[in-house]
C-alpha cells in the first residue's frame, strides 16, 4: 500500500472521530457546514483514488490480453508463414542490403503478373498487419500500456513494417491508404526498443 493511501485512510479515520467532537462543542450551522465539506472532500478523494486504481488495473489487464493474443492459435500459424522470410534472410544478412531483402521478400510473395503466389500467406500477412493496427489503435487511445507493448512487441512490429515487408506494404497492403502506412511506419519506429 502506498504512503499516500495510508495518509488518506488516516485522514478519513480522523474526520470520523472528530465529527462527534465538532457536533458536541460547536453545534452551529457554520461548523456543521465545515464538517459536511470535509466529508464531501474525503468522499471525492476516495472516489478519485478508486477510479485511478481501476483505470490502472484496466490498462494492465488490456495490455496483458493484447500481448497474449500474439500467441493466439491463428496468429501463431500466421507467424509461422511469415517466419520463413525472417529465417531465410537472417542467414544471408551480411550479403543482403535492406533494400535487396525487401525487394526479394516482395518477389517471393507477388508473382510477375502482380498476383499473390500463396493465398494462405496473403491471409497470414493480413492477419498480422491487422493485429499491428489494433495495437497502434490501443496505444493511441491509451487502452494499453505503450511501454509494455514496446518491451514485448516493439522490435517485432518494427521488423515487419520498417524492414522485412516494407515494399510489400507500399505496393500491396496499404497501396490505397498511404496515410495509414505512414502512421504505421512512424508508430513502429516509436515503439522500437533502443
Q: How many CA atoms lie within 13 A of 109 on its CB side?
A: 26
Residue 99 and residue 110: Cα distance in Å, rounded? 16
What end-to-end distance do the CA atoms of the chain give, in Å? 33
Nine cell digits for residue 53: 486504481
Mean confidence (pLDDT) of the chain: 83
Give me the phi and psi of 11, to 5 degrees please: -65, -45
Q: Are 66 and 149 in contact (CB under 8 A)?
A: yes
Residue 124 and residue 129: Cα distance in Å, rounded? 9
Q: In sequence order, what are the residues at sequence separation of 6 or more whose Cβ sits closer than 8 angstroms to the Cβ of residue 132?
A: 157, 160, 161, 184, 188
| Most confident residue range from 6-15, 104-113, 118-127 | 118-127
Q: Where along the chain do its domains lie?
A: 3-56, 70-191
CA distances from 22 to 5, 8, 45 (A): 25, 20, 22
Q: Is 37's pLDDT higher than 60?
A: yes
User: Residue 18 belongs to what H/E stretch?
Assistant: helix 3-25
- SS3 assignment, position 93: coil
Per residue in 69-92, pLDDT tens?
999 999 999 988 888 777 777 766
Residue 24 confidence (pLDDT): 60
Low-confidence winner among 45-49, 114-118, 147-151, 187-191 (lowest mean pLDDT): 45-49
Nine cell digits for residue 180: 495509414
CA dihedral 47, 52, 53, 54 (to 10 degrees): 90
Q: Is 13's pLDDT higher than 80?
A: no
Cα dihedral across residues 172, 173, 176, 182: positive or negative: negative
5 pLDDT band, cuts 50/70/90, is low
The whole-model pTM stands at: 0.75
- SS3 assignment, position 194: coil
Amino acid at each position: 500500500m502506498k504512503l499516500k493511501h495510508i495518509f488518506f485512510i488516516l485522514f478519513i479515520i480522523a474526520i470520523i472521530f472528530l465529527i462527534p467532537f465538532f457536533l458536541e462543542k460547536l453545534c452551529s450551522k457554520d461548523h456543521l457546514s465545515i464538517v459536511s465539506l470535509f466529508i464531501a472532500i474525503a468522499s471525492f478523494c476516495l472516489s478519485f483514488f478508486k477510479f485511478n486504481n481501476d483505470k490502472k488495473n484496466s490498462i494492465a489487464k488490456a495490455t496483458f490480453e493484447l500481448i497474449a493474443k500474439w500467441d493466439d492459435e491463428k496468429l501463431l500459424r500466421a507467424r509461422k508463414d511469415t517466419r520463413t522470410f525472417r529465417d531465410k534472410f537472417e542467414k544471408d544478412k551480411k550479403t543482403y542490403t535492406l533494400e535487396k531483402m525487401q525487394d526479394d521478400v516482395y518477389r517471393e510473395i507477388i508473382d510477375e503478373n502482380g498476383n499473390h503466389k500463396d493465398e494462405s500467406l496473403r491471409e497470414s500477412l493480413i492477419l498480422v498487419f491487422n493485429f499491428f493496427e489494433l495495437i497502434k489503435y490501443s496505444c493511441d487511445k491509451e487502452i494499453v500500456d505503450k511501454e509494455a507493448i514496446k518491451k514485448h512487441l516493439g522490435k517485432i512490429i518494427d521488423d515487419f513494417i520498417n524492414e522485412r515487408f516494407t515494399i510489400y506494404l507500399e505496393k500491396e497492403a496499404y497501396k490505397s491508404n498511404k496515410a495509414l502506412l505512414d502512421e504505421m511506419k512512424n508508430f513502429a519506429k516509436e515503439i522500437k526498443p533502443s
